[in-house]
Amino acid sequence: MSILQPVLQVLTSAAFWQVVVGGLMLGAVYALFSSGLTLIWGMMNVVNFAHGDFVMLGMYTAVVVWTALGGGPWASVPIAAIAIATLGVISYFLLVRHILRGPMLAQILGTFGLALFLRYGALWAFGANFKTLPDDLVGHSFVLAGLRFEGARVLAGTMGLVVTILLHVILTRTSVGSRMLAVSEDETAAQLMGIRPQRMQALAWALAGASTGIAGALIAMFFYTSPTVGETLAIVAFVTVALGGFGSVLGALVAGMLIGLVESLSAFLIGPVWKDVIVYVLFVLVLWLRPQGLMGKT
Amino acid sequence: MKRGHLAWAAVLVLVLAYPVIFLDSPVYQRMGALVLLAAIGASAWNIVGGYAGQVSVGHAVFFGIGAYASVTGFAHFELPPIAGAPVGMALSVGLAALIGVPTLRLSGHYFSMATIAVGELVRVLSSTSDWLGGAQGLGGPAMPRSVMDLSFLTALPYYYIFLAVLAALLGLTWWMERSRMGFYLRAIKDSERAARSLGVSAGRYKLYAYMLSAAFTSLAGSLYLCITGFVDPESGFGILISVKMLVMAALGGAGQLFGPLVGALILVPLEELSNSLLGGKGAGITFMVYGAIIVIVARFLPSGLLSLFAPKPRVAAPQSKPPQSTPPQSTPVSGHAD
Amino acid sequence: MMFDISRRKATRDVLALGAAAIALSFTTGASAQQSVKIGAIYPLSGNSASAGNYEKMAMEMGADIINNGNAELAKVLPLAKGGGLPGLKGAKIQMVFADNQGTPAAGQSQALRLITEEKVAALIGSYQSGITLTTSAVAEKYGIPFVNPESVAANLTERGFKWFFRVTPVAADFAKAYSAFLKEQIAAGQKVNSIALVHENTEYGNSVASVIADAFAKDGLKVTMKVAYSANSTDVQPQVLQLKEKNPDVAIFVSYTADAILYAKTMKELNWKPAILIADDGGFNDPAFVKAMGSVTEGLISRSVFAPGKAGSVAAICDALYKKKTNGDGLDDVSARALQAFFVLADAINRAGSTDPAKIRDALKATDIKPDQLVAGYDGVKFDAKGQNILASTLVTQIRKGQYVSVWPKARATDPLILPYKGW
């Protein structure tokens, strides 16, 4: 009885549920920007070390759309999607295509070099100062069932869910998707069936880039933008993808929400520094006990 | 034959005389020392990352242990920093065994991810420890108390110390290359499954490589502390340190004896010189150039720069062969090496 | 014939002209306009690049004032008359900037280069305490004066260095200021029974927070909550919710810009306003923060060594000049400290009358600048034997209509303090 009481107290406090909801919404965003990473990883076994910087450029796209055109998310999200999709395709043709057949080391080398180039290119182009978008770009916060919801986060979380599920549907239920999966399973067989592998791979990079760009544009609504923000986000993405299972977009969704939840709860119940420790320990445990992640292929 | 020997002799003389040639340029002397230090770290990484093919992206763990062992020896026990080096090496070997046993079972990307996680974990934990100086870090001797403190005005003594350590490390690596262990590691790198089926205990040899690599990475960390005089969680355990080791080895040629040194010879001066020439404007162009060069090498020479000088394999008479469908190093999706 | 004569004449004229030119160049060479090179090592790339760049601009402006003069400023500050340093016969100051890239090793390398290749007469730097540690060690070994405008780690002046001079107050001074400020509020009837200390978990946050906690303990102020969080967090909702639950009377934040913005936004999202909100410098004084969140943080209390002050003061004029240079951003705590240290160094070189490092060092030791000559709100500049400016102090400021004004100590306040925290 005595243990149950404080537990019940926590479970019924408004703060607790606020943390839970906040964590889930955050997690949906994590899922969104990790889905691009897991798609590429699953499809062609490439770890994109520049992933965080793709997100960063999506964020800067939103900032530029705001400062140059005065546009909010309804403008910046599609523009960022197109911009980063293009970046993805260019990266594929200029770099990734050539290191696919090489040793894993070359992939790490190549994408890391790309990351540096993009990160410091952003520093050169946009300067070092932090940029933030105005608060009220997406409407104000509202209260529902005693919990506060902030417009930008709700939008980001909802779109995170929608886009991730959309991506999953494209991959698993459309003919384009099955062609992409065919290429990832067996390139030769796919070729023999008339599918052009390079085209499919480029498309994968376009899709991954688009979802990453959307994620960036949405995050920019409530997070600060700077050239080095990609570093922080990249680690979160890696953990999410590893936990969810390399190649599984749905896994990234589940994992993202889980990580968002665990992070928020441990920060609230234990202490903020320890939230990082807990997430990394979780990460190591998953890699050790179930390396294919929650929903990866066995 | 003779011309080859003469060339090598000339290189040797150049290497030995370098700091004396640049006696009036402390900046170039220091650059030489930094190249050698980076080469030590990258060559240490090469043992497990290049020869054994286990791409660790968390080697900073051992580097940081070496640096912190040295600095805490000074800060808490008033010992000269170098006294911490053997302690750091022992700790690193122990930690390598601890991490290695569970993680070396994982293959390819999974192993890399695990090393990143462990590296970040250690970095975050180190910032919570007051004994390690917490987030502020710890400083070495502000002014040298004796020669043993290894705190010199010019970089000339460092150059020779690092050169000696690098020579020893490369000598050890060369010997390993030709030993049974080297043979086994090559087999494991090529195909672990095949090696195991032939009776090679892959797990054991991978672990040996990992532990050996950890020891020398730790030594590099201790030497870093001697020349820099300060370490904190970011400069000791930061992921950039791990990645730089990897990038230098890969750029030059992973799995090749002199690959890391070649990588260091290119990247360290590149970083220092471009920072000196362009850094003052603060536009980050230094790293844009750095990144671009890495991308170009990865794109055109995925096996590193030394592959330019590798003897070209004899091309067999063309046969009608179906194109390769999957890259030879594909990772089994199960995540475990089998 | 005529041509011959005229050619000879022309040749003679040309030769005469040439000789005169050469002679002239020799005379101007004798009273030659030397220049004095000062090296500045700052984070111009990486995570702290924002602060580094603001400091660079401040020092560039300082050099410009000394070299080219500013009429309005010259009324209060003699060195602003222009035409270089009078003590060195009009030698102009040449700033040489280097990027420390956020790593101690790069700072060291650049210090070595500036000293041995650029042959600078003195160094200024380097923002991050760990990097200041290594760069100043190089300067000490080579016997070059090293002026530090803004690093607060206590150990920097505990190394027995003879060439290191720190102009800024240190964490202990800030803590004393907060303590005195809060005690004054208690005396005025404000409730200060519970204090929360929220700080980021790297060098800056940890060192300042622990010093504040110690000072408060000694003065009988109760720190009831200590929350350490990782810098560069993606989300701070859980922390703010915790704080909202416990609802301390006073909340003190020690954060960098990114976290500052995040916290301000999250507090607004979750609608939590403590009665007294103190935000320790760092991120909260960054113009980026003020621009982004100034309108929703009305009444936020911070500490800064800078407040524009009365019209016509050194601080006010410099602020206006800086705004012109940066297209709208005024001086803040960090950039003001950089500018101040620059002026201290320029003044010392001027008094030394030479670029000889030892003479500059002696001049620095003898520095004694009065507060009305300062752009920063110190009580003066005077170095003790360890190289610490013992007259360094801080102001407590408050955001009023999106701008910081000084509210404490009363003697330097330009506006009255308004409590409780209004926010949005």
Q: What is the pLDDT of residues A31-50, one digit of tens each?
A: 988 988 998 888 888 888 89
Distance in angstroms (rounded) separating the CA atoms of residues C350 and C339? 16
Across B244-258, C120-134, C174-188, C226-240, least confident range: C226-240
Testing the interface with C: which of A135, A138, A218, A269 to mutate, by most C Cβ within 10 A?
A: A135
Question: Mean per-residue pLDDT for A11-26?
Answer: 82
Q: Given CB atoms, is B281 within the 8 Å cutoff of chain C? A: yes
Contact A264 C53 (CB under 8 A): no
Does the pLDDT value for residue B65 go beyond 70? yes
pLDDT, tens digit (0-9, with 9 covering 90-100), for A109-124: 899 999 999 999 999 8
Average confidence (pLDDT) over A156-181: 88
E-strand ranges in chain A read 142-144, 147-149
Which residues of chain C are within 8 Å of residue B153 when distances are taken between CB atoms?
141-142
Q: Subunits with at least 3 CB pairs below 8 A relative to chain B?
A: A, C
Residues of C in contact with B135 (CB under 8 A): 201-203, 205-207
Identify whether the C-beta of residue C421 lies closer than 8 Å to the C-beta of residue C275.
yes
Give the start-to-end residue ranges of the domains of chain A. 28-138+148-227
Mark yes or no for CB contact C203/B137 under 8 Å.
yes
- Answer for the pair B251, B262: CB distance below 8 angstroms, yes or no: yes
Neighbours of chain C (3+ CB pairs under 8 A): A, B
Q: Is C243 exposed, middle or buried (0-12, 13-18, 19+ CB in 10 A)?
A: buried
Task: Work out the number of other CB atoms within 10 angstroms of the CB of residue A144.
Answer: 10
Check pLDDT > 90 for residue C388.
yes
The answer to whether the Cβ–Cβ distance between B295 and A113 falls below 8 Å is yes
* Number of C-beta neighbours around residue B6 at 10 A: 10
Banded model confidence at residue B314, pLDDT cuts 50, 70, 90: low
* pLDDT confidence of residue B331: 41
pLDDT tens-digit map of C7-35: 555 556 555 555 554 544 444 444 456 79
* Interatomic CA distance for residues C252 and C302, integer angstroms: 9
The DSSP string of C129-180 is HHHHHHHHHHHHHHT--EEESS---GGGGSS--SSEEE-S--HHHHHHHHHH
Across A7-16, B22-31, B277-286, C32-41, the highest mean pLDDT is recorded for B22-31
| pLDDT recorded at residue C26 | 47
Are B230 and C104 within 8 A, CB to CB? yes
| H or E stretch at A293 | none
| Helix A14-44, helix A51-64: angle, nearest 10 | 120
Q: Give the closest of C44, C50, C269 to A150, CB-based.
A: C269
Question: What's the pLDDT band for C338 if we cut at 50, 70, 90?
Answer: very high
Alpha carbons A61 and C42: distance in angstroms, whole number: 29
**Closest Cβ opposite residue B299 in set A95, A104, A246:** A95
- Tell me how close the Cα of A17 comes to any Cα of chain B, in angstroms: 28
Of C45, C130, C140, the CB nearest to B230: C130
Inform me whether the C-beta atom of residue C96 falls under 8 Å from chain B C-beta atoms.
yes
Structure tokens at C39: 């090296």
Give pLDDT, residue B136: 84
Tell me which of C154 and B40 has the higher pLDDT: B40
How far apart (Å, rounded) are the C-alpha atoms in residues B136 and C106? 18
pLDDT of residue C48: 84
Measured between CB atoms, which of A124, A242, A276 is closest to B284? A124
User: Comparing A56 with A233, which gets the higher pLDDT?
Assistant: A56
Closest residue, chain C, to A229 (C-alpha)? C232
pLDDT band at B315 (very low <50, low <70, confident <90, very high): low
Q: Which residues of C touch B274 (CB under 8 A)?
A: none
The segment with the largest mean pLDDT, out of A187-191, C16-20, C384-388, is C384-388
User: Which residue in the set A13, A129, A232 is minimally distant from C50, CB to CB?
Assistant: A129
Look at B336 and A291 and tell me if their CB atoms are within 8 Å.
yes
Amino acid identity at A68? A
Residue B332: band (very low, low, confident or very high) from pLDDT cuts 50, 70, 90: very low
Tell me if C188 sits within 8 A of C179, measured CB to CB: no
* Residue B142 touches partner C, C-beta closer than 8 Å: yes
CA dihedral of residues A130, C207, C59, C92 (deg, nearest 10):
-160
pLDDT of C419 > 90? The answer is no
Instruction: Determine the Cα–Cα distance for residues A277 and C352; give it in Å rounded to an integer.
Output: 54
pLDDT value, residue B215: 97
Q: Is residue B249 pLDDT above 90, yes or no?
A: yes
B224 interfaces chain C, CB cutoff of 8 Å: yes
Instruction: Identify the band that residue B1 occupies on the pLDDT scale cut at 50, 70 and 90.
Output: low
> In terms of Cα–Cα distance, which of C356, C360, C388, C314 is closest to C62?
C314
Average pLDDT over residues A85-109: 89
Q: Which of A102, A117, A287 sits opposite B288 (nearest CB)?
A: A117
Mean pLDDT over A242-261 rounds to: 88
Q: What average pLDDT score do residues B285-301 get?
A: 88
Sign of CA dihedral B89, B142, B280, A232: positive
Residue C275 three-state SS? coil
Distance from CA of B127 to the nearest CA of C (A): 7
Q: Mean pLDDT across chain C, nearest whole number?
A: 86
- How confident is the model over B248-266, as a mean pLDDT? 93
Beta strands in chain B (DSSP E): 138-139, 230-231
Q: Which residue on chain C is closest to A135 by alpha carbon?
A: C265
- Taking residues A90-95, report their average pLDDT: 93
pTM of the model: 0.87
Chain A / chain B CB contacts < 8 angstroms: 172
For range B302-315, the mean pLDDT: 74
The pLDDT tens digits for C257-315 are: 778 888 888 888 888 888 888 888 777 877 777 877 777 788 888 888 888 878 888 99
pLDDT at B335: 40
In this prediction, residue A223 has a pLDDT band, given cuts at 50, 70 and 90, of confident
Identity of the residue in A19, A128, A224 whose CB atom sits nearest the CB atom of C241: A19
Strand segments, DSSP code E, in C249-383 are: 250-254, 276-280, 301-304
Q: Is C28 exposed, middle or buried (0-12, 13-18, 19+ CB in 10 A)?
A: exposed
Which of B145, B152, B275 is the best substitution to test chain C (most C C-beta atoms within 10 A)? B275
**Residues in B touching A116 (Cβ below 8 Å):** 287-288, 290-291, 294
- CB contact under 8 Å between C235 and A120, yes or no, is no
CATH topology of domain C35-169+311-393: Rossmann fold (3.40.50)
Going by pLDDT thresholds of 50, 70 and 90, the confidence category of residue B81 is very high
Taking the C-alpha atoms of residue A295 and residue B272, their distance in angstroms, rounded to an integer, is 45
Q: Return mean pLDDT, chain B.
A: 87
pLDDT recorded at residue B73? 94
Are the C-beta atoms of B222 and B85 separated by less than 8 Å? yes
Q: What is the mean pLDDT of residues C57-70?
A: 94
Domain map (residue ranges) of chain C: 35-169+311-393, 172-304+396-412
- B102 contacts on A by Cβ (under 8 Å): 288
* CATH homologous superfamily of C172-304+396-412: Response regulator (3.40.50.2300)
DSSP C284: G
Chain C hits for A15, CB-CB cut-off 8 Å, are: 241-242, 244-245
pLDDT (0 to 100) of residue C12: 60
CB-CB under 8 Å, B102 with A288? yes
Regarding predicted confidence, which is higher, A234 or B219?
B219
Average pLDDT for C227-237: 79
pLDDT at A244 over 90: no
Task: Please answer yes or no on whether B142 and C137 come within 8 Å at the CB atom.
Answer: yes
Mean pLDDT of B222-247: 93
Q: What is the pLDDT of residue B325?
A: 43
Contact C50 A233 (CB under 8 A): no
Q: Beta partners for C277? A: C251
